[in-house]
Structure 1
Amino acid sequence: MPWTAWREAPITAVAPVTPRVKSFRLAVDFADRFRAGQHVDLRLTAEDGYQAQRSYSIASAPEAGGTIELMIEALPDGEVSGFFAEVAAVGDAIELRGPIGGAFVWGPEDGGPLLLVGGGSGVVPLLAMLRLRALAAPEVPCRLIYSVRGRAEAIALAELETRARDERGFGLSLLTTREGAGRRIDAEAVAEALADLGNPAHVFVCGSNPFVAAAADLLLGAGIAPGRIRTERFGG
């Protein structure tokens, strides 16, 4: 079935991730055939025919099992995110199309070193890349710079810290903007990551517009070639 076709995907599991983010498992026919970094479109239709549509990155790695994982953050007045925060339950069938995207993707064949830079929920597609790396290319050096307001809002933090402890070649830099010293991503954070990683072959940056703009400027300032940097922006 082409990615442009809408079809129903039943919810098979729901779990809390942070106070504002939930994990949803959806049964799909492409769970082992998408690329880490891609997203899907979800569509809700009201009884009067009104429709609302949003895009969400896939958090899971491509693998057998028949489901993908989405991590959806509840946003103020969010039409779609509000439904998933308050209403959606196991067994509900959700309209979906995808997988979508061909530029912001990584696979084992692309190699490394790999530098990932995420802000808030922008870590989700990067999480798919990390999970795929662990499954299929653990020899690829990788570093994640993750900026979030506080530890309680960091998505998959326990998993990330376990990977940083147990996986050779992977390092995590967690920056909390509203806890402790309140550190944001800066030239020093980028320099620390590069000193650990070396010269990255691929850099992926994902987050809000201001975060991505600031991070991209810092990466360019650190001497990383523009052609190696790929960005994806979420909302404002």
Structure 2
Amino acid sequence: MSKNKRKKQRLKTALILLIILFILAGLGGMLLVSHRNKVAKEQRKQAAIAALESIPEVTATPMATATPIPTAMPTPSVTPIPTILPSFDPESYRGTWYSTDGLTTINIYEISLDSVSFTYKRVNGKNSSLFAEADVTAEVAGNATQFYLKDSEGNKAKGEFVFDKSGKLYVKVKTYKRADGSKTYPKTESIMTREEPMESTPAAEQEFSYDESGDNVYGIPYGEEETYYAE
């Protein structure tokens, strides 16, 4: 074999070796990189496992069971028992009342435990065409009322009603200032009745003694009644 041929053969062999070495170096590098990736991946895995294990175990809190809210039952209101009974039943006194002598008629058209409104009419016992009347509103206190009135004749009188619990009506009315020329004037003292008397008693009781010097026939000084009687 010639010298040149042997030289070429050695170069070729050296080149093949270099190529093999280069391939091996590349494979080695690739294996090294793959190994490093595996190691890094394993490290990350171990770190993650360690992190999970380091988290404290939490005991699950049982969910609260909703307790049903009881439906409120309405409590029936108890009617309070009055400590003081009404003095009388106002409605039982509404309407027309007559005196026992048949000369006085009282029509109660409005009444309560606080006030009473009524008309008062007095007929002359000797001449039934003559009469005096008045419209009165007065306060009620307990089972009684007191009032002043001035009738259609100009007479001035004081009166009082008593509303008995049994349903009876007591009336007392007296004139304390008689108008000039008046032939009929308020004068009643009677337990009133719902039934109109068939005949009226001749009224000798219309005789009236009036002391002009005292102006105090009913125990009331004249002048004080002005704010009490109803026109």
Give yes or no for TM over 0.5.
no
Q: Normalized against structure 2, the TM-score is what?
A: 0.26
Q: Normalized against structure 1, the TM-score is what?
A: 0.25
Decide which structure has greater strand share. 1
